[in-house]
Structure 1
Amino acid sequence: MDVIWFAFFAVLLAGYFALEGFDLGVGVLLPVLGRTREGRDRMVAAMAPYVLANEVWLVAVAGTLFGVYPALEGEVLFALYPVVVAMLLSWVLRDAGLWFRRRADGRGWRGFWDAMIAFGSLGLSFGWGMALYAAATGFSASPVHPLGLMLGVVVTLLFAWHGWTFLAWRAPGDFGAARPGRALVLSGAVAALPAAGVLAGAMPYLIEHSASPDTLNVLSLMVLPFAPIMLGAQVWVWRTFRPGKDAFRLPSFF
């Protein structure tokens, strides 16, 4: 059962990087590709329908981490406390920017919240790289380390490339040459590589520190039946908002 839960956790974390990665990448690219107000509106509208569905994966990752590996909760939060706080703040700012940017029409208002989207996306992307470095060292090294900072840059660049590929798929011809769906799948797989690499190295440690068999059995009964629902919701979102389906119409909640 511990191997099954490790596989489930690995799929969730890699899936988060592959899916939320393009949202964060679009946010990072907002000042680069969105040179005009119309361009930024089109970029946000292209990725907005996917944001809430993708963030569900992060909630599932956190719940699985602390439910299946309870011994790691204090260790992770203690070792990564400044990084976790910075990432949570970045998450709030990014989502606040998405929610508030169209609540008023002033140029300064839009510009401020667009900057928050870019800043929050950058903070989350960079923070994930630092967190992965700390996890790869068994939380024995500070995430504010040259290698941790380098991995933060790598993850940010991978997310930015993934975001650019997503825009080229979702809005063909508007943000560079059109890209097919298989290019988006490839960029998602590459964006998930850092997380997959750390998980592969941590597999023996995580399995050894899994919760008791009784706890895992209870979690299986409570959680795993809902996995098909989450997967079905993701399929519905991607089918509903595929290219050509109102690519630049913002959903009502943004």
Structure 2
Amino acid sequence: MDTLALALLAFFAAGWFVLAGADIGTGMLTPYLGRTDHERRLVITSFAPFFLGNEVWLIATAGVLAGCFPELEGALLAGQFPVLLPLLAGWIVRDLGLWTRGRGPGRRWRALCDGAVTAGSWAVALATGWLLAALLTGRPYEPASGPGAVLVAVAVAALFAAHGLGFATLRLTGPAYERARRLVGRARRPWHSFALTAVLLGGLPLVTGSALAPGSQAADSGTLVLLVPALLVVTVPLVAVQAWIWHTFRHRVTGPSYL
């Protein structure tokens, strides 16, 4: 059961990095991809159908961590609070910008919400990199510091942005698409860039896990016997719904949504 619990933790964490990394990265680059109010709305429309479903993977990761690895979860909450706070704040600010963009008066309001989406996305990406900088050292009980932590945080944020660019080339049209392609390059297959960054982002939690060795901090066998089968049952519809969403909205964006 320890191995299954560890596999579930890795699966959900990698899933969040790959799937949510697309909307976070695109949100980070909204001012570059969308120069006008209409173009920014199209950029947001490109990831609007996905972001809520993608966030479920982070919630699932936290649930597996709390239920199956309570010691590690406690160390993270206590030691990484200065990192988790901006991560959660950025998450909330970004979602507020997305939900309220089409519900306020005028262009200035929409510009303010677009700024919230961009700032929140950068905060999530940088805070995630800062968190990984600490976990890669095997010290979850204290935030990382120094030039190394800054370098890791910036590198992870840049990887999120590159992932968002790859996603944008698959979903956008018109001038926003051309701007994304300008940075991604003229690869023969548009999905090549997205696939490469997906592999790199998905590997981040796996490398982090090898540094932390969470298997040694798993809950007792009785708890795992109860939790792991239930988590496996929940995983099947989660993956099925996620696959349906990505299949349904696989086409390029040609018009704005309700956001």
TM-score, normalised via structure 2 length: 0.90
* Contact in 1 for aligned 2:9/2:65 (Cα 8 Å): yes
CA distance in 1, matches of 2:72, 2:83: 16
Tell me the equivalent position of 1:240: 248
1:104 is the counterpart of 2:111: no
Is the deviation greater in 190-199 or in 21-30?
Answer: 190-199
* Structure 2 counterpart of 1:226, one-letter code: V
* Contact in 1 for aligned 2:82/2:143 (Cα 8 Å): no
Is the deviation greater in 83-92 or in 132-141?
Answer: 132-141
Tell me the equivalent position of 1:153: 154
After superposition, the CA RMSD in angstroms is: 1.7
SS at match of 2:251: coil
1:190 is the counterpart of 2:200: yes
CA distance in 2, matches of 1:6, 1:147: 28
Tell me the equivalent position of 1:167: 168
Segments of 4+ moved more than 4 angstroms: none
SS at match of 1:243: coil
SS at match of 2:159: helix
Residue identity over aligned pairs, in percent, reads 34
- CA shift for structure 1 position 197: 1.6
Is the deviation greater in 210-219 or in 166-175?
Answer: 166-175
- CA shift for structure 1 position 22: 1.1
* Structure 1 counterpart of 2:209, one-letter code: L
1:215 is the counterpart of 2:216: no
TM-score, normalised via structure 1 length: 0.92
* Contact in 1 for aligned 2:25/2:160 (Cα 8 Å): yes
CA distance in 1, matches of 2:141, 2:236: 37
The unaligned stretches of length 5 or more in structure 2 are none
1:206 is the counterpart of 2:214: yes
